[in-house]
Structure formats: structure tokens, C-alpha cells
Amino acid sequence: MSDKPETVKVKFNGVEYEFPKGWTILRAAKKAGIRIPHFCWHKHLSVSGNCRMCLVEVKPGPPKLQIACALPLAEGMEITTESPQITKARKAVLEFLLLNHPLDCPVCDEAYECKLQDYTYEYGPTTSRFIPFHAEKRVFVRENLGKLFVEMNRCIHCTRCVRFLKELGGQWELERMHRGHELKIHTYKKAFESDFAINAADLCPVGALEDGKFRFTVRNWDLRRTPTICPSCSIGCNIYLDWFENKIKRYLPRENDEVNACWLCDYGRHNWDFVHDNRFDKPHVRGEVDLAPTTYEAAFARVKADVARLQAAHGKESVALLMSSWMTNEDLFAGKKLAQLLGLKAGMLCGYNKRPVKPVMSGPLPEWLVSDDKSPNSTGGRLLKLAEGEEEFTFAHALLAAIEQGKIKGLILFHEDLAARSDLELAAVRKTLAMLDLLVVAAWRPTQVAAQAHVVLPSVTFAEKDGSFTTYRGRVQRLRKAIAPFPGVKSELEILVGLGRQFDPSFGWDLAKDAFAAMAAEEPAFAGMTWKDLGDKGVLART
């Protein structure tokens, strides 16, 4: 028997197409690139068919118009998506939707991204026949429900938000209340509790639900957009990073059916304040007592001299390099090569997902879009053989023990604030690190460990560099630079290469894509990959 799915042949506007049997007209039209206006339909939600904007003509069939979102394809079906009858029907639908809709586009955050606005320009009436018969429109009071603001006056009752929270959000927190003219979407709670509630604002085709953090911060048309990866956990959700005047304003989910479909958790969506808050902007070197500003060149020279002195006195492995799962694959590979060049003891701290994660789109989002590992590249470190074992803090405990035993005299540390680790006592960590003759910290913000450092090297965040992360499921994905870093601040790759070139002027690479090419040539897990292959969807590593 053939494994090829059964198909049907249909015509859209006189052109023949072939689609899998069971697809609806709207799904097939989207696949074919044929535009059919709609509000309530979404490919990952159940069909409700209540907005009536997707009306089309179907032959053979009844003379009345059919809704494209719910009608399955049939062999020989002929579908017309634009005609005078269809246009008249869409105008009528819009007239009803606009009966109570406020004229507040200038102050609505959905303006420029609003389907109702777009369709009204295309099909809608220029005047309303409602006002002469009713002196007042019905009005609902604006509500603040924690993560979301509810502007029910704008609601068109598509029920996308209701269906999402019921079917995918993990908590059924919205429902339709009342009927007819007084119908509204509401909750029995004072604030949303679902960890995915803000996806309802993404789904809303108008401005009825608004992200509380983004609300009234910037106009949508002023935003610049960069496709990249959410750094908040090992799932590796694809996002659009929207920014204005070099400041991040929001994340939006970017569709990738192999990773996050088109969803994003609320924690990850709002986890970007660290990019702008309390940042290092200059290298510092400790004098007799305090840290003093300096240049990268002077800081690199200090590190070179101290590493050479310690290795000459205590052996090459008396200096260790501890990297972080917040570093890209290219950063980690450069660190591995630096350790090989200098004979350093190298490793990294990484998180572990302690519960099974189901395949993409296999049930409610909490079952497959949540990871215990709140760092983006633990898997990349393991594939590069920099992290082993099944416990998150194994290397940290071993490293601290080696320092206490006098085996480690110098430590080059990237990002990890050992003093903040949940299973390590602050006082004990600080006491142990004080035993080091050299502590170099590369980080984007002050930490308790950085306060003890002999050399501090500012670095950039994920939003300020190019590279790649490897997801929990082993997919290697592009990280793209969105905003400019503080003037003169270097990336981790530039820091590692700068340190390496103190010992070997030919060491390393100037660009992330060149480091990736070298990694793909040497590391079995990345063999055969190219920078171009990663594209927008990523490539599975050889695990």
C-alpha cells in the first residue's frame, strides 16, 4: 500500500490545485497563497465559524455563500474567493462588527497591526447607519487583569482568546458572558494565572486584549524587527525582537513548527530588562585595593602575564576556564580552542530539564513548551563535550573543591555568578574564590563574583551579537544581532579571541560565521552544517 495521503483536486478562482483530503477551504487557500479575510480561524485552534468574514462561493453546492474555515474540500469543488456578492456580504459583516466599536484607532496599540482596521479600509462602509436609531453605543469599563489589559469595547467576539486558554493555555480563564448586544469576554479571576496568557493578546485581531508591559510604550510603525531566539530557557522559542531607539520593546512569537509553533511563554516574553539594566561598560583591573577602569588591551595583557606566571609556578591546569550556557555555540567552541591552546582545565555550567517534554503541538502548552533549564545553550555545551554528568552543579562543586585544595590558582569565568547558585552558600563561595591568585570575570552586569575579580571584562547580551544556540531537542538555530552594544564593549567571542591572540597572534576568528564554519569542520555534532543552512528554522545536530 502507498503511504501517500489521499488528495482531492479543486479549483480556486479557475485555477486547479491538489490538496490532502480533509483540509478546509481556508487552510488550502493559505497553502496556495490565496487571501481570504478572516478573524476567528486559527490553524492551531478549534473551528468556531462565528465571524463570517471568510465567506466564499462554492460550486457545486447551495446558492448561499459558505464559510471557508469550516467547509472541507471535495473532489471537483470550484471556489470563488472574490465576487460582487462576496464583497457585499463582507461589507455587511463589517458593518455589524463596527456598530459598537469605538473610533479610537489613534490611541489603540493594535493600530497598524489590526485586521479590523485593514478589512475596514478594504471592504467597510464609510458611514454608519446605526447612530440615527440608537443614541448611545454600549460601553464596557476598561479592566487591568495583571498581564493583560481588557478593552472590551473593541472586542468582535471571535473567541480566539477563549479557545486558546481552554485548549492550549493550561487554564480555562476566559469565557463568553451574556448574549447578543451585551455579550462580552470575561474572567472570574482578578488576574490571569496561565503562564501563556499573553498569547491571547497576540491572537486578538483587534485591540481588545493588550500586553500590559508593551501598552502605550511605542507606536507599532516605529518599531524595527529582528528574527532571533528567546534566551530564557532551553526550548529555544523563535521570536521577533522588536526595538526602538536601540531599546527592546517586546518579543513576539515567530512561527517554527519544529520548536514553538507560534507560541511563547509569558516568562520568556517579558524577560529582557536585563539587556538594558545595570550594565558594565568598561573593563576594570584591580590595583592594590579597588577595581579601576582600563582598556581591553591592558586587561588582556594583565591576564596574559598572570596566567603565564601561575602556569610556570603551578602547572598548566592550575588555571581553569569556566563557561556558561548563556554563551553561543561559537563562543563555547572558541573557549574550548583557547583551553587547548593554553592547556587550561575547561568546562561549563549548564542546566538540565528534569521532566520529559512532549513533541511540539502535542497537547496543552505546559506539556511541551516549558523547560526547567532556564538557559539557552546547555545542549550546545554538551555536544561540544564541555559539560557532562546529569547534575547541574557537578562542575561547580568540583571546581570549588580544587580551589580549596590549592590545585586551581586562577579562574577565567564567563557570566556564571557562583555566589548566586541555589545550592551553594554565598559565604563559602566568596571565601573559596578569595583564595585565587587570579579571578577574571567576563559578564554583562555586576555580580557578587565580579566584585571579587582581579579583572572584569564587559561582554554583550544575546540581543547584541550574532551566533547560534542549540535547543533542548538538539536543533541548532541562528541568533541575530538586533541592537548595538555599549560603545566599545566586546562580545564573548571577541574576548576569547583577544585573550588567545595574546599568546598566538593567529588564534581564532573575527566573525561568528567563521567560528561556526571551523566548528562544523571539527566537531562531529555539527558536521556538514553551514551558516546559510541554519536559515530561519534551524538544523538538527548529530546527537
- pLDDT tens-digit series, residues 376-389: 999 999 999 987 65
Same domain, 379 and 477: yes
Let me know if residue 504 belongs to a domain.
yes
Task: Give the chain's domain count.
Answer: 3
500 lies in the same domain as 528: yes
Q: In whole angstroms, what separates CA 3 from the centre of its chain?
A: 36
> 58 lies in a domain?
yes
Any residues with CB less than 8 A from the CB of 185 and at least 6 apart, and which? 150, 152, 155, 157, 159, 161, 162, 174, 175, 176, 177, 208
CB 173 within 8 A of CB 192: yes
Neighbours of 415 (CB within 10 A): 23
In a domain, 217, yes or no: yes
Q: Which three cell numbers stand for residue 272?
A: 529582557
* Within a domain: 103: no
pLDDT tens for the chain, 543 residues: list them: 456 779 999 999 999 999 999 999 999 999 999 999 999 999 999 999 999 999 999 999 888 999 999 999 999 999 999 999 999 999 999 998 888 888 889 999 999 999 999 999 998 777 777 665 555 677 888 888 889 999 999 999 999 999 999 999 988 888 888 887 788 888 887 788 899 999 999 999 999 999 999 999 999 999 999 999 999 999 999 999 999 999 999 999 999 999 999 999 999 999 999 999 999 999 999 988 789 999 999 999 999 999 999 999 999 999 999 999 999 999 999 999 999 999 998 888 877 777 777 889 988 999 899 898 888 999 999 999 987 655 555 677 788 899 999 999 999 999 877 766 656 677 888 899 999 999 999 999 998 889 999 999 999 999 999 999 999 999 999 999 999 999 999 999 999 999 999 999 999 999 999 999 999 999 999 999 999 999 999 999 987
User: What DSSP element (H or E) covers 342?
Assistant: helix 329-342
Residue ending a domain, choose from 275, 310, 325:
275
CATH of the domain at 441: 3.40.50.740
Q: What pLDDT is recorded for position 1?
A: 46
* Domain coverage including residue 177: 135-275
- The reply to whether 444 and 324 lie within a common domain is yes
Residues 76 and 145 in one domain: no
Q: Tell me, yes or no, whether 297 and 190 share the same domain.
A: no
Q: Are 326 and 396 found together in one domain?
A: yes
CA separation for the pair 455, 127 (Å, rounded):
69
Are 171 and 193 a contacting pair, CB within 8 Å?
yes
Q: Quote the pLDDT of residue 480.
A: 98
343 and 269, same structural domain?
no
Specify the CATH number for the domain of residue 34. 3.10.20.740
| 247 and 171 housed in the same domain | yes
Q: Report the SS3 class of residue 33.
A: coil
Q: What's the whole-model pTM score?
A: 0.93
Query: Is residue 503 domain-shared with residue 442, that is, in the same domain?
Result: yes
Which distant-in-sequence residues (6+ apart) come within 8 Å of 168 by Cβ?
44, 45, 196, 199, 263, 364, 365
Q: Is residue 155 part of a domain?
A: yes
> Based on the domain organization, do 151 and 236 belong to the same domain?
yes
Q: Report the candidate in 91, 82, 100, 153 with the shortest Cα–Cα distance to residue 120.
A: 91
Report which of 242, 62, 100, 70 is spatially closest to residue 182, judged by C-alpha positions.
100
Domain boundary among 249, 275, 301: 275
Phi and psi at residue 520, to the nearest 5°: -65, -30
466 assigned to some structural domain: yes
pLDDT in tens, 344-363: 988 888 777 777 778 899 88
Is residue 359 in a domain? Answer: no
**263 lies in the same domain as 292:** no
